[in-house]
Amino acid sequence: MQLERLLQSQGFGSRKQCGRRIAAGDVRIDGVVCDDPCAEIDSGNSQIEIDGVIWRYREKVYVAMHKPAGYECTHHARCYPSVYTLLPEPLVSRAVQTVGRLDADTTGLLLFSDDGHFIHALTSPRRHITKGYRVILKHDVDDCFVRRMANGVLLRDETSAIKPLSVTLTDAKTLLLEIDQGKFHQVKRMVAAAGNRVAVLHRLAMGGLSLAGDLLLEEGEWRYLESAHLDRLGYNV
Ligand code: URA
């Protein structure tokens, strides 16, 4: 692939902007400056360095973030900064999108990609991807509340009760909840329908991919997902 096209595909600006950076000597291939925008590069096997930072060519990107509280999952955030401000510019420029959304006050596992097929596969209601949450409740509960949740709760605008896949009480205020739908504010609405309020919400896992077990990300950190992670999500590239 031509070097300027390669940089453009990776989010480093328009073809013209990439050409200028290459001609200015900002780009090294396998450790050697390459100032020819039209040089043919083996995208899969070359080491690409831009302004001293090594980038691996990726045809599509798959990213996991440990979302902190106080960030909105939109590009044009209104009350809080956008989660996209936590990603490097080239990823934003190549138009990665969040895979579903978390509320501004929710923390935990958030995925991004520029692969529309992947986003659809993980968010389609027909695929029933499991989402695991830790829910800290406002008021103490007992087994009766857990049974109410487990039996299913009727949400406004729904015609049938929504049942979690599992619900476990770990102390008087903490629930572990697994759901396989992705309705708007679903966890908060389910808890409200069962007679309580969510104080703190954290997404622990999606499919078989767990934030603590597989990704080891601190709040605000992100990383690329590799094929083993995609396997855990049941997705084959
Ligand atoms: N359910 C909610 O209510 N909020 C979230 O952020 C995620 C799931």
Q: Do 134 and 165 have their domain in common? A: yes
- Enumerate residues lining ligand 1, CB below 6 A: 102-103, 106, 185-188, 201
Q: Do 183 and 141 have their domain in common? A: yes
Domain at 25, CATH number: 3.10.290.10
Q: What local confidence, expressed as pLDDT, does residue 172 receive?
A: 96
As a residue count, the chain comes to 237
Q: Is residue 145 assigned to a domain?
A: yes
| Average model confidence (pLDDT) across the chain | 96
Please check the confidence at residue 106 and state whether its pLDDT lies above 90: yes
The distance of Cα 32 from the centroid of its chain, to the nearest Å, equals: 35
State which residues form the domain around 167.
Answer: 130-206
User: Total structural domains in the chain?
Assistant: 3
Last residue of a domain, one of 39, 55, 71: 55
Structure tokens at 81: 């900064």
Domain at 197, CATH number: 3.30.70.1560
Q: How far apart are the C-alpha atoms of 98 and 204, rounded to whole Å?
A: 16
Predicted confidence band of residue 139 (pLDDT cuts 50, 70, 90) = very high
Domain at 92, CATH number: 3.30.70.580
Average pLDDT over residues 211-227: 96
Residue 57, C-beta contacts closer than 8 angstroms, at least 6 positions apart: 6, 10, 43, 44, 46, 48
Q: What local confidence, expressed as pLDDT, does residue 79 receive?
A: 95
Q: Do 179 and 218 have their domain in common? A: no
Q: What spacing in Å lies between the alpha carbon of 227 and ligand 1's midpoint?
A: 27
Please check the confidence at residue 59 and state whether its pLDDT lies above 90: yes
Predicted confidence band of residue 30 (pLDDT cuts 50, 70, 90) = very high
Q: Is residue 80 assigned to a domain?
A: yes
- What secondary structure does DSSP assign to 10-68, as a single string? TTS--HHHHHHHHHTT-EEETTEE---TT-B--TTT--EEETTEEE---SS-EEEEEEP
Q: How far apart are the C-alpha atoms of 216 and 222, rounded to whole Å?
A: 10
Q: Is residue 138 assigned to a domain?
A: yes
Q: Is residue 191 assigned to a domain?
A: yes
Q: Do 190 and 214 have their domain in common? A: no
Q: Among the atoms of ligand 1, which is closest to the Cα of residue 189?
A: 3
Lowest-confidence region among 69-73, 81-85, 158-162: 158-162
Structure tokens at 56: 């691996």
Q: Do 143 and 201 have their domain in common? A: yes
Per the DSSP assignment, residues forming a β-bridge with 136 are: 174, 200
Q: What spacing in Å lies between the alpha carbon of 63 and ligand 1's midpoint?
A: 20
Q: Which among 133, 175, 177 is the best mutation to test ligand 1's pocket, defined by most ligand atoms within 8 Å of the CB?
A: 133
Predicted confidence band of residue 175 (pLDDT cuts 50, 70, 90) = very high
Percent of the chain with pLDDT over 90: 96
Predicted confidence band of residue 237 (pLDDT cuts 50, 70, 90) = confident
Q: Do 70 and 108 have their domain in common? A: yes
Q: Nearest 5 degrees, angle CA 147-CA 148-CA 150?
A: 60
Q: Do 138 and 28 have their domain in common? A: no
Q: What local confidence, expressed as pLDDT, does residue 66 receive?
A: 98
Average pLDDT over residues 206-232: 96
Q: How far apart are the C-alpha atoms of 233 and 117, rounded to whole Å?
A: 13
Q: Is residue 105 assigned to a domain?
A: yes
Q: What single-letter amino acid sits at 122?
A: L
Average pLDDT over residues 172-194: 96
Q: Is residue 237 assigned to a domain?
A: no
Q: Do 69 and 22 have their domain in common? A: no
Q: What spacing in Å lies between the alpha carbon of 104 and ligand 1's midpoint?
A: 9
Average pLDDT over residues 200-211: 97
Predicted confidence band of residue 174 (pLDDT cuts 50, 70, 90) = very high
Q: Do 12 and 47 have their domain in common? A: yes
Report the 3 state secondary structure along 77-132: CCCCCEHHHHCCHHHHHCCCEECCCCCCCCEEEEEEECCHHHHHHHHCCCCCCCEE
Q: Do 193 and 135 have their domain in common? A: yes
Q: Which among 102, 190, 206 is the best mutation to test ligand 1's pocket, defined by most ligand atoms within 8 Å of the CB?
A: 102
Q: What local confidence, expressed as pLDDT, does residue 152 receive?
A: 96
Q: Do 13 and 121 have their domain in common? A: no
Average pLDDT over residues 22-43: 96
